[in-house]
């Protein structure tokens, strides 16, 4: 792992052809093989859906857009893991290390005893080595973080926190229900307990400028995050933001294909080289995606980002300033 005083030669050698600090390569070095996530739908909601802080949820969110087809919400956690393993072992033959991914909505939003029961059921599965838990920064009470820290002494525990934007006005406009300070607080408290934190960032939300998004790379780099997932804005059918775009397209500007790749490279160049990149983009099933019209598969996007960084003669952190 590189620290913040790397030299350009160190970075070029460490990152190789990808030219960024790739999560998958880190996992292979650490565990000797691929670690695959098995998604679990445990019936959670969010405080900006149930009325505690707001209603309607985030304007960009429709969980069906990233929920695997093998999930059946009426099944138990164990049954969902079994179904996911059957699917993933066909898709990734030879993979033998898996972690349960509590992905949909805010998976720490509930009483600790309920969380404990769900997490323990997943960890009791003989083929599960740990947990990835997706949540919001305002759903991380200290007792929950302390319990996850206890689990991390014996299991892989990855805490995924939706930051989405570092701009308070943008967060308010998409009905996020928390500000950037809440993300800073949650990340710092989790990291202080030794937890590995992966932040999620959504580039292209209405109200963001290029400068504000790139400033997000600087702000995230100052936080003790282990990894980052980058997502580009896509309009998913059934969301408030999709309806807004349909009624007033100018109010929701969308990236062109090359513009998006360029922005992702600009962001990565400004990101601290120690931060692992789990994702450099996202994709929505074509049947659910309303816009933009262009479509680059994730398997194609990463090589194109690497090629653009190579064309520029740059890499992750080449324009990073501590």
Q: CATH number, domain at 161? A: 3.80.30.30
With 0-12 / 13-18 / 19 or more C-beta atoms within 10 angstroms meaning exposed / middle / buried, residue 97 is middle
Q: Residue 8: inside a domain, yes or no? A: no
Q: How confident is the model at residue 3 (pLDDT cuts 50, 70, 90)?
A: very low
Indicate the average pLDDT of the chain.
93
Q: Is residue 318 part of a domain?
A: no
Does residue 4 form part of some domain? no
Confirm whether 3 is domain-assigned.
no
Instruction: Report, in this order, helix, strand and coil percent for the chain, each rounded to 5.
Output: 40, 15, 40
Is residue 13 one of the residues assigned to a domain? no
Nearest to 322 by CA among 225, 222, 191: 222
- Beta strands (DSSP E) in 145-210 are 156-164, 196-203
Q: Which of 8, 27, 29, 32 is nearest to 19 (CA)?
A: 8
**At 71, is the pLDDT very low, low, confident or very high (cuts 50, 70, 90)?**
low
| Three-class DSSP category at 176 | coil
Strands 36-40 and 98-102: parallel
Report d(CA 129, CA 28) in Å as an integer: 15
Instruction: Render pLDDT for 270-307 as a digit per residue (tens, 0 to 9).
Output: 999 999 999 999 999 899 999 999 988 888 999 999 99
Confidence check: pLDDT of 8 > 60 = no
Report how far residue 308's alpha carbon sits from residue 261's, in angstroms, rounded to the nearest whole number.
8
Q: Would you say residue 199 lies in a domain?
A: yes
Both structure tokens of 138: 């305002």
Q: Report which of residues 273 and 13 the model is more confident about.
A: 273
Domain count, the chain: 1
Asked, for residue 320, whether it belongs to a domain, the answer is no
User: So what's the pLDDT on residue 74?
Assistant: 73
Q: Contact at 8 Å (CB) between 280 and 305?
A: yes
pLDDT tier at 126, thresholds 50, 70, 90? very high
* Structural domain boundaries enclosing 254: 18-312
Kindly provide the residue ranges of all beta strands, DSSP E only, lying in the chain, ordered along the sequence: 36-40, 98-102, 128-135, 156-164, 196-203, 227-232, 235-236, 276-279, 289-291
In a domain, 2, yes or no: no
């Amino acid at each position: 792992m590189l620290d913040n005083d790397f030299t350009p030669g160190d970075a070029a050698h460490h990152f190789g052809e990808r030219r960024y600090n790739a999560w998958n390569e880190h996992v292979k070095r650490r565990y000797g093989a691929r670690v695959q996530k098995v998604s679990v739908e445990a019936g959670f909601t969010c405080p900006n859906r149930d009325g505690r802080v707001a209603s309607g949820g985030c304007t960009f969110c429709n969980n069906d857009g990233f929920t695997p087809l093998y999930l059946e919400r009426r099944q138990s956690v164990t049954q969902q893991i079994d179904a996911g393993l059957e699917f993933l072992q066909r898709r990734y033959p030879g993979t033998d290390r898996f972690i349960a991914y509590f992905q949909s909505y805010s998976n720490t939003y509930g009483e600790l005893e309920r969380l404990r029961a769900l997490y323990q059921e997943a960890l009791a599965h003989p083929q599960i080595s740990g947990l990835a838990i997706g949540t919001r920064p305002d759903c991380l009470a200290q007792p929950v973080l302390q319990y996850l820290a206890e689990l991390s002494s014996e299991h892989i525990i990855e805490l995924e926190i939706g930051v989405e934007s570092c701009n308070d006005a943008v967060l308010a406009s998409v009905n996020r229900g928390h500000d950037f300070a809440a993300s800073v607080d949650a990340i710092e408290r989790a990291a202080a307990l030794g937890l590995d934190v992966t932040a999620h960032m959504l580039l292209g939300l209405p109200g963001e400028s290029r400068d504000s998004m790139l400033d997000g790379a600087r702000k995230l780099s100052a936080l003790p995050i282990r990894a980052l997932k980058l997502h580009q804005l896509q309009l998913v059918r059934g969301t408030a933001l999709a309806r807004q775009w349909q009624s007033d397209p100018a109010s929701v500007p969308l990236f062109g294909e090359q513009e998006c790749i360029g922005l992702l490279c600009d962001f990565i160049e400004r990101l601290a080289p120690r931060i692992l990149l789990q994702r450099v983009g996202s994709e929505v099933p074509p049947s659910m995606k309303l816009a933009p019209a262009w479509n680059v598969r994730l398997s194609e996007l990463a090589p194109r980002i690497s090629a653009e960084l190579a064309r520029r003669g740059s890499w992750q952190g080449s324009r990073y300033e501590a």
